[in-house]
Structure 1
Amino acid sequence: MPATMTSRVLLLVGVVLTAHKFLCTAYVGGDGFSVEFIHRDSVKSPYRDPSLTAPARVLEAARRSTSRAAALSRSYDRADAPSADGAVSELTSRPFEYMMAVNVGTPPTRMLAIADTGSDLIWLNCSNGAGAPGLAAARHARAPAPAPAPAPPPGVQFNSSNSTTFGLVSCGSGACRALPEASCADSKCGYLYSYGDGSQSTSGLLSTETFTFADDQGNRGDRAMRVANVNFGCSTTMIGSFIGDGLVGLGGGDLSLVNQLGADTSLGRRFSYCLVHYSINASSVLNFGPRAAVTEPGASTTPLIPSEMKTYYTVDLRSVKIGNKTFAAPQQYPVIVDSGSTLTYLANELVDPLVKELTRRVKLPPAKSPEELLPLCFDVSGVGEGQVAAMIPDVTLELGGGAAVTLKSENTFVVLHEGTLCLAVVALQFPPVSIIGNIAQQNMHVGYDLDKGTVTFAPADCASARSSGSVYI
C-alpha cells in the first residue's frame, strides 16, 4: 500500500470513532471540548427577568430549589414503582438552573436546552414532522387523552424534514430498551413523559441525529465537535408550558449525553463544570472528555456510591466540620451532587448543630429569613462585603474515601434580601433525598468520571479560569 494511502487509513482509524451500542460516532480533538454553561439568570439567558434585583433572583432560585428537592424525592419514591400505563414514563417537573446550546441536524439548527444533571434522556421540541416518515403519525398516536389542545412550544423547533442525517429508532434497539418505558408505533420507539399531575407532558419518537457543539475554549480559538447518531426524543406534542427548546440529560443513565459521548470512544464517560459566583454576569463552563480532568491544587476525590436512581450522582457524606467541631452524619448517609438545585439539603442531625455553631461564631445581629425559607440569617446592612466574608468560618464536608471539600462563605451564605445574609443550607424536608446544591459548588471545578466511578472537587476562580482557559488543561 502506498505511504500516502497508509497515512490516510491511519488517520481515519484515529479520528473516526465507530458506532457503539447506541450508534454514537464522535469526531473530536484529543483533549475533548467545552461549551458555555449558562445560568438562567445570566445576561445571556432569554429567561432572565431584568426587573429583579440580584437578591430577588437568589430568592427566586431558592424557591425553585425547594420545588426541585421535592421532585427529586418523589423520583426516589417512584423508582421501583411500575407505571400504570406501559407507554408512560412518569416524571416530576423539575425547575432548572443551567442551559447549554446544541446544534442539531444537517444543516444544524441551534437550540438552547436545559442542561440537567438530574435527568438522562435528551429531548428536543420538534415540528410535526410532515417530511419525516412516522413522526406525523406519532404526533396523533402519542397525544395523551383526554387533554387540552396542545399549545405550540416556545422557542425554537427542530424540523427533522430539513435534515439529511435524521433517523428514527426501532422498538428492538438497545436505546429503546434503555428507556424507563417505551411503546411501538409502526415498529418505531415512542414515548410519553407525563410531568407532575399530568397537566404537563411531552411525547414523540426516539430518534437519532448529528449534534454539533461549538467548542468554547476561552482564548484558544473556536472549534466545532460533531457527534453522529445521538439518540434523543423528538417531541412532537407538548401539553402545558415548558421553558427552553428541550432538555439535555447529563445524568448517569445509559441515554444521557455523557454516556452517549463516552461509550466506546476516546472521550471517556466524564464531564466537569466550573460555576462562576451567582453575582457575576458571566457564563460558566462545561467540559467533556479529557478536558474534564480536575487537576487543580487541592483537588479531592470521592467515590460514587450505588443509588436507587442510576441517574443521580450520589456520594457518601461522613461528617460536617467547623473549626475543631465535627458533626457526624447518620450512618451511610448518601447525598446527591446536583447542579440544578440552588440550596444544600441535609438531615436535621447535621443542620441543627451547624446552625447553633454558626450562631455562636458569627458576630453579626440576627435577621428574619425572607419567607422563612432558610434557617439562619444575619443583618449585614452597613457591613462591607470583605468584612462579612472574614467573619464567616469555613465549613468542611468530609466525604467517603477520605475526601474533604471546604466551603467558603460564598458557598454557605447568600444575600436573599438587601442587607440580609442567610445560610444556604436547609434541614431536609423531603426524605430520603439530601443534596449538595450549586451555591456550595460555586468557584469549584467539579468533575464526574463515570468510568472510574468518582466525583472530584477542587477550589478554582471560575471566572478567571474561563478567561484564561486554565480549567481546560
Structure 2
Amino acid sequence: MDISMSKGVLSEETLQFANGIENVTMNNIFFGCGHNNSFHNSNGEGIPGLIGLTTKPESLVSQLHYKKFAYCLGDFDDIDARGYAAFGDAAQITGGTTPLADSDLPYYFLNLEAISVENTILPIPKGTFTKTKDISSGFVIDSGSTYPIIRRSAFNILQDNLRQRHLYQNTVADPNDSFDLCFKSDVYDLKSAPVITLHFTGLSLQLPFQNTWEKVNENIYCLSMLPSDGVSLLGNFQQQNYNVGHDLENRLVSFVLMYCSDWLLFLYSAFSVQEI
C-alpha cells in the first residue's frame, strides 16, 4: 500500500509439497516470478518478490484456504538476520491480541484508538483512524509496505511532541529527503529515546527504538514514519522481531516481541501443509 511493487510473470501451475509424511499436491495455484522489484527507500536489490497474504482470491492465504498464518521479520540492518512465515497449524497466535475490524476490502483493518509518547496520550482527535466505506481512511496492518503511514493530522501532533523533547531539539535534514524528523545521535543515545506506543482495541503495542528510528547516514537517525492524507498503516519496519499472528477464523491479530531465530527450530519441526 506504499510505493513497493513487484513486476514479472504470473503463472498457473500444479504444486507439490512434502509435509513430512507424504507429498501433497495442489492444483491450479497462481504464483508469480518478480523480475522488477522496488521497495520504499530501496531498489529491491536482494529481494526476490512478494508473498500475497491478503484476502484477495489470488493471495497465497486464499488459494490454500489457510485460516491462520504468522510471520517474524528479522532486523533490517542485519544482513544475516533470519525470519519465517508459518501457515495453518504451524502458525503461532500468541501474545496480546486485537480484533480485526469489519471491512469489505481485502486488507486487515485494526482499531487504532490512540498513540502515546512515554505514557502520555497525544491529543489526536477521536475518530482520526476510524474506518469508513473506502480505502481513504482507517488503519491497516500491512506486511508488504515498509514504513508506517500515519494520518497527517496525527503525524503532525506526534512530531510536535517529539520536537519538544531535549533529544530531538538539534534536528537535521534527511540527506535522502525521505523523512521529516531527523537528528544527529549515536545508538547509545537512541536507546534512551521516548517510547512510542500504538493503542489498539485490547492491545498496546510498544515500538522498540530500532523499530522507530532508522539510521540513514553516519550518526543521523530519522523517525521512520510517513504522513498521509488517506489510510494509515503499520508497515513491516515496525513489525521487526515480532511474531505477528493472524487468526482469520476468530478475526484476531496477535503480537509478541521475540528474536525471530528463537522460534525457527520449533517452526521447522512443527510445520505441516494442510491438505485441501
Q: Which has the higher helix share?
A: 1
How far apart are the structure 1 equivalents of 2:88 and 2:60?
12
CA gap 1:389/1:304 in 2 versus in 1, 3 angstroms? same
Superposition pairs of residues 99-178 of structure 1, within 5 angstroms: none
Helix, strand or coil: the match of 1:440?
Answer: helix
- The aligned counterpart of 1:358 is 162
Q: Is the 8 A contact 2:2 2:146 kept in 1?
A: no
Q: Is residue 233 of structure 2 the alignment partner of residue 435 of structure 1?
A: yes
User: How far is the alpha carbon of 1:278 from its aligned partner?
Assistant: 0.5
Residue from 190, 202, 226 that aligns with 1:389? 190
Q: Is the 8 A contact 2:182 2:221 kept in 1?
A: yes
User: What do the CA deviations read for 1:105-154 (whole angstroms, capped 9, x no partner)?
Assistant: xxxxxxxxx9xxxxxxxx9555xxxxxxxxxxxxxxxxxxxxxxxxxxxx
Q: Is the 8 A contact 1:124 1:245 kept in 2?
A: no
Q: Is residue 64 of structure 2 the alignment partner of residue 261 of structure 1?
A: yes
Q: Is residue 228 of structure 2 the alignment partner of residue 418 of structure 1?
A: no
CA gap 1:346/1:245 in 2 versus in 1, 3 angstroms? closer
Q: Is residue 129 of structure 2 the alignment partner of residue 324 of structure 1?
A: no
How far apart are the structure 1 equivalents of 2:242 and 2:257?
4
Superposition pairs of residues 275-424 of structure 1, within 5 angstroms: 275-280=73-78, 281-295=80-94, 299-310=95-106, 312-327=107-122, 328=124, 330-331=126-127, 332-333=130-131, 334-363=138-167, 365-380=170-185, 383=186, 385=187, 387-400=188-201, 402-424=202-224
User: How far is the alpha carbon of 1:437 from its aligned partner?
Assistant: 0.6
CA gap 1:472/1:252 in 2 versus in 1, 3 angstroms? farther
- For CA contacts below 8 A with separation 6 or more, give which structure has more relative contact order: 2
CA gap 1:422/1:362 in 2 versus in 1, 3 angstroms? farther
Give the TM-score of the pair, scaled to structure 1. 0.47
- The aligned counterpart of 2:36 is 242
Q: Is the 8 A contact 2:97 2:255 kept in 1?
A: yes
Query: Which structure has the greater CA radius of gyration?
Result: 1
CA gap 1:362/1:212 in 2 versus in 1, 3 angstroms? farther
Structure 2: tracts of 5 or more residues without a match: 38-46, 132-137, 271-276
User: How far is the alpha carbon of 1:288 from its aligned partner?
Assistant: 0.6
Aligned length: 250
How far apart are the structure 2 equivalents of 1:224 and 1:361?
59
- The aligned counterpart of 1:175 is none
How far apart are the structure 2 equivalents of 1:211 and 1:367?
53
Structure 1: tracts of 5 or more residues without a match: 1-67, 71-93, 97-113, 115-122, 127-206, 216-221, 263-267
Give the TM-score of the pair, scaled to structure 2. 0.78
CA gap 1:247/1:436 in 2 versus in 1, 3 angstroms? closer
Helix, strand or coil: the match of 1:388?
Answer: helix
User: What do the CA deviations read for 1:33-54 (whole angstroms, capped 9, x no partner)?
Assistant: xxxxxxxxxxxxxxxxxxxxxx
- The aligned counterpart of 1:210 is 15
